[in-house]
Amino acid sequence: MSTARAWRPAKALAQRRSFSTTPRVLDNYAFIGLGRMGYQMARNLQSKLPPGDTIRLYDINKSAAEKLAEEMKAQQAGGAAPEVSTSVADAAKEADIVISCLPEPQHVRSTYEALLKGIAHLPPRPQPRLFIDSSTIDPHTSSTVRQRVEDKLAGQGHFVDAPMSGGVVGAAAGTLTFMLGSDKLLVSRLEPILLRMGKRVLHCGPQTAGLAAKLANNLLLGIQNIGTAEAMLLGVKLGLDPKVLADVINASTGKCWASEVNNPVPGVVPTAPASLGYEGGFGIELMLKDMKLAQDAARRIDLEQTMASKALDLYEKASKDAECKGRDFSVVYQVFDKTNGQGP
């Protein structure tokens, strides 16, 4: 895998546009999948697109698409014209750029099968369509979908993977980091699109490289979260004030995102989910999904994983606990605490 390269926001691109005397080619967008992440990403994209462009919205929950379209129309700042579509094929039929943000590999497969069935017979667009999938799925499924796009559209479509980091908060604030897997010749076309929804694009290599980077990162995050929870609980049981312990860890070699930003002990970091009843943040079910995807990817290349397997078992156990369901993945601290009794 090539070294990830950070692409700077294309401010100059946007500024130069106003000085051009050549009429701007209008773009048609489709956004498919309006869950917690997709809803916010689509909102940012629409608001930053120039008037004249169109964005068609589709979600299996039609009310979500209708609500978002109404919010977009109510904005005073302009942006692309929103439309609610009745199907994925309807959303994509006029689209130059299709962005998808879906929960599971099977959703990506079925969505693109329906999409391709609906548009494969249509005449080519002025330039090949871009299909940007921001779903966190396994590289094998992503590669299979890419091949289907190439076969069905005969070179008139490019499918790329662009999973993101930053969570719902980052999606709402437009500060996501996208890990892009695509032909390097497409980066200059993809970058301005992604930067309307985030602040950084890391080109990780060819298609599926973005997903490989995302799964490796989340695998490490899942393991670090468990290690932080165990370390914090050890200190608490030995009589340490958890805030004091966190200060020591974050000034020492144990420092990581799980200890500094998302500390699993209630009250240590006021803004962390742990201090908010473990609400918000990255759901434990999503972490379990990502750990399973990483394990599946490792299995496909005969890579033995020790820490990952143990971590997966713990998240599986925690996700079945009634007190953990739907909560931030740092809630594993409560699982450890409950297992080991209450108090120091």
CB within 8 A of 247, min separation 6: which ones? none
The token duo for 1 is 């895998």
What does 107-121 look like in DSSP terms, one character per residue? HHHHHHHHHHHHHTT
Q: What are phi and psi of 28, to 5 degrees?
A: -110, 130
Burial of 185 (0-12, 13-18, 19+ CB in 10 A): exposed
H or E stretch including 269? Answer: none
Place of tokens 């691109």: 13
Given the residues 62, 117, 214, 320, the one annotated as active site: 214
Contact 30, 85 (CB under 8 A): yes
- Catalytic site residue 11? no
Helices 139-153, 209-237: inter-axial angle, 10-degree rounding: 160
The token duo for 135 is 């779903």
The token duo for 209 is 């490289």
How many Cβ atoms sit within 10 Å of the Cβ of residue 89? 18
Catalytic sites, residue numbers: 214
